[in-house]
């Protein structure tokens, strides 16, 4: 199974990408698994918080699986995949319960977009993170840039996106993208972070979350994410992207 989902007695629903041999890259099975986990998080009244992490000690998520997604050549093919994942990340961002990216290792490309869709991010010491899509001749394709602009100051977000380089988790605390860094991160870390929140009535948590969702409705977050995805699909079709992907895969 490419993913696991587990509801702790505390009310924390933990979803884990289980592809350590692929640095927890996202393929179509993982996309389906995140959809199923969100259904549980939305519908099960016992769920008070949702945590996303990766298996192993090396990678949280290395983004989209290039071995699988490189088969998508046209902007139409790319848009079908990109928009599907974009809708899921919008759904994650607007889940009416607190969400946490438990970053247990490298988070790059789409892995950073996944983390940006969460309300909070805590990371293992020394983890590297970066929106590196620009190095492959494309932009963020799942709405991650629009989400990042909601998380940290605009000038910092724009610099991260345009430079397309990686940063240590410790550096990103100052920018506000990472909330805490731990020597190790695991389920206990998630419980420690959520300790005070999950003691509250879930309806209190939902009301606070709805406040920020209302803000995003007013500033058209979903429409901005959709435009971002369309832009990426156009770039995806270009030879510049396909050549960069082949070069990366042949390293």
* Domains located in the chain, CATH noted: 3-185 (3.90.226.10)
Q: Is 248 helix (H, G, I), strand (E, B) or coil?
A: helix
pLDDT of residue 67: 87
Q: Round to whole Å and give the CA distance between 101 and 137.
A: 26
d(CA 144, CA 113): 4
The pLDDT score that the predictor gives to residue 62 is 97
pLDDT at 188: 94
Q: Which residue in 26, 6, 8, 7 sits closest to 17, CA to CA?
A: 26
**Among candidate residues 22, 20, 88, 95, the one with its CA nearest the CA of residue 53:** 20
Q: What is the C-alpha to C-alpha distance for residues 251 and 248, in angstroms, rounded to an integer?
A: 5
Report the pLDDT value the prediction gives residue 246, as an integer from 0 to 100: 87
**Residues in the chain where the model's pLDDT stays below 50:** none
CA distance 31 to 35: 6
Cα 76 to its chain centre, rounded Å, is: 23
Q: Give, for 33, the enclosing helix (H) or strand (E).
A: helix 28-43
pLDDT at 81: 96
User: Residue 140: which of 158, 118, 167, 121 has the closest Cα?
Assistant: 158
- The whole-number pLDDT of residue 139 equals 98
- β-bridge mates for residue 123, sequence order: 103, 181
């Amino acid at each position: 199974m490419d993913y696991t989902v587990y509801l702790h007695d505390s009310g924390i629903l933990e979803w884990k990408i289980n592809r350590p041999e692929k640095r927890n890259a996202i393929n179509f099975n993982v996309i389906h698994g995140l959809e199923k986990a969100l259904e549980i998080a939305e519908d099960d009244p016992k769920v008070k918080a949702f945590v996303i992490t990766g298996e192993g000690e090396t990678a949280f998520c290395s983004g989209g699986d290039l071995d699988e997604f490189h088969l998508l050549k046209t902007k139409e093919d790319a848009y079908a995949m990109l928009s599907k994942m974009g809708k899921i990340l919008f759904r994650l961002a607007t889940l009416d319960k607190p969400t946490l990216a438990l970053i247990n290792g490298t988070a790059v490309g789409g892995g950073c977009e996944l983390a940006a869709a969460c309300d909070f991010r805590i990371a293992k010491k020394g983890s590297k993170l970066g929106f590196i899509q620009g190095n492959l001749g494309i932009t963020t394709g799942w709405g991650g840039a629009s989400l990042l602009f909601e998380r940290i100051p605009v000038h910092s977000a724009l610099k991260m996106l345009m430079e397309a380089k990686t940063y240590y988790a410790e550096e990103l605390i100052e920018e506000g993208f990472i909330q805490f860094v731990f020597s190790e991160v695991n389920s206990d870390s998630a419980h420690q972070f959520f300790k005070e929140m999950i003691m509250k009535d879930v309806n209190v948590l939902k009301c606070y979350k709805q406040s920020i969702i209302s803000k995003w409705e007013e500033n058209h977050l979903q429409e901005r994410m959709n435009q971002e995805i369309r832009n990426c699909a156009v770039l995806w079709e270009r030879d510049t992207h396909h050549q960069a992907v082949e070069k990366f895969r042949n390293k």
